[in-house]
Homo-oligomer: A and B are copies of this chain.
Amino acid sequence: MKSNLPDKIDTLFINCHLATMTDNSLSIVENAAIAVTGKTISWVGTKKELPKNYKRICQILIDCQNGWILPGFVDCHTHLVWGGSRSNEFEMRLKGATYEEISKKGGGIFSTVKATREASRHDLFSLASKRVDALLKQGITTPEIKSGYGLNLETELKILDVVNQLNERFPLHIDATFLGAHTLPLEFADNPDGYIDLVTQTMLPKIKAQGIATAVDVFCEHIAFSLDQTRKVFQAAKSLGFKLKLHAEQLSDSNGAALAAEFNALSCDHLEYLSLSGAQKMADHNVVAVLLPGAFYFLKQKQKPPVKTFRDLNIPMAVSTDLNPGSSPVHSMTLTLNMACMLFDLTCEEALLGATINGARALGLNLSKGSIATGKDADLVIWDIETPADLCYLAGLTPISMVMIQGRIYHNDLQC
């Protein structure tokens, strides 16, 4: 079988094993080969299927030295554009202050909002660039980034503008999400509905007009926005054609997931306190469950998301870093995979699906991202590991040999 090879091959990977993440499993191919033409994968097979003259049919031949190739990670939930630092609060939390207590004291997220409002566009971009570069070197080729540390029109636009600048500066795809309804800004403390009006009547139309975000997210929680307020934001966002996502049931059961399902949201995220009926609604409407073990770990939570229910109801589980300065300063997907296994009892296969194809599902990008198949984007990472489970097991190690994004090599440690 030497058929189906494309006429033109830019890059041919040989001497590799694949976890293609197709068919909701690792779908391993040993002694494999992958051809890349332009920005996409043009052929996937085994080395045996290659013609004898395979060295002459490609521009670049990459000997993977028996490494494993997985799709680049899709990190479907981050807040990585922020100003200031919160390491000072880290010790406060260590000493027992809860997320809610810090929040109520006007510290926590409001210190980040203040610093983000005060930061110049240039400084915000510079800080965020460092973080994106770190994610890329950890094998994340598609991050989602939410706004939400502005909480006024000017700063929310500034953040989304920085996200779009990052998209231009780095050779990867970044999905931008508007999270104006992240928390109630102090200046609206006595007028929460007034802030919701600002979000729905001013911010959303402006963001739509500028085309700088594709999705809208809300933090539905007793310390943030109510179910009714969430509904108002979703209604406005849906009428403008945005995709929807929801921070749901992180600290309590607010019935947010059921609402999100009713609106056919792409995902509900966190979900530690999700009810069975909420899960059933998610299943009915194909909503992805995004698990964020880094936040669970940093907040020292005890109640785990209902993983068994997700399995029973065939709800796809995505896994993401939730990178943010307050509750999840986690910069690594492999560390997140490890935590998903150790803290939420996912199998390694489930965790890896969560960081690839199910992360892509949570962004509505699963036709192009998150798996290895002909026609998909050539976002590929070569790992110097013995088995895919090593990515979950070897904590604090990121043994990357090469990162390719849309057919271009971004990082290369292979000695060849």
Contact = CB atoms under 8 A, between A and B. Distances in A.
Interface of A: 85-88, 90-91, 94, 134, 138, 294, 297-298, 300, 321, 329-332, 334-336, 341-342, 345, 347-348, 386-387, 389-390, 392-397, 399
Given A298-B342, A300-B342, A335-B335, A90 B395 contact: no
A139 to B, nearest CB: 12
Contacts of A300: 342
A164 to B, nearest CB: 24
Contacts of A331: 394-397
Given A332-B396, A332-B397, 13 more contacts: A85-B390, A87-B389, A87-B390, A87-B393, A90-B392, A91-B348, A94-B342, A94-B345, A298-B342, A321-B396, A331-B395, A334-B396, A335-B395
B387 A87 contact: yes
A35 to B, nearest CB: 30
Nearest to A388: B87
B389 A347 contact: no
A297 B87 contact: no
Most buried by B among A300, A332, A341, A390: A332
B294 A90 contact: no
B335 A396 contact: yes
A405 B412 CA distance: 26
18 contacts: A85-B386, A85-B387, A87-B392, A87-B394, A88-B389, A90-B393, A91-B347, A91-B348, A94-B342, A94-B347, A138-B396, A298-B395, A300-B342, A329-B395, A331-B394, A332-B397, A335-B335, A396-B396
A348 B92 CA distance: 11
A390 B130 CA distance: 15
A330 B395 contact: yes
B90 A341 contact: yes
Contacts of A393: 86-87, 90, 329
A395 B343 CA distance: 16
Contacts of A138: 396
A87 B352 CA distance: 14
Contacts of A399: 134
Contacts of A321: 396
Given A298-B342, A300-B342, A348 B395 contact: no
Most buried by B among A298, A341, A394: A394
A298 B395 CA distance: 10
Nearest to A394: B329
Contacts of A332: 395-397
B335 A91 contact: no
A397 to B, nearest CB: 4
A330 B91 contact: no
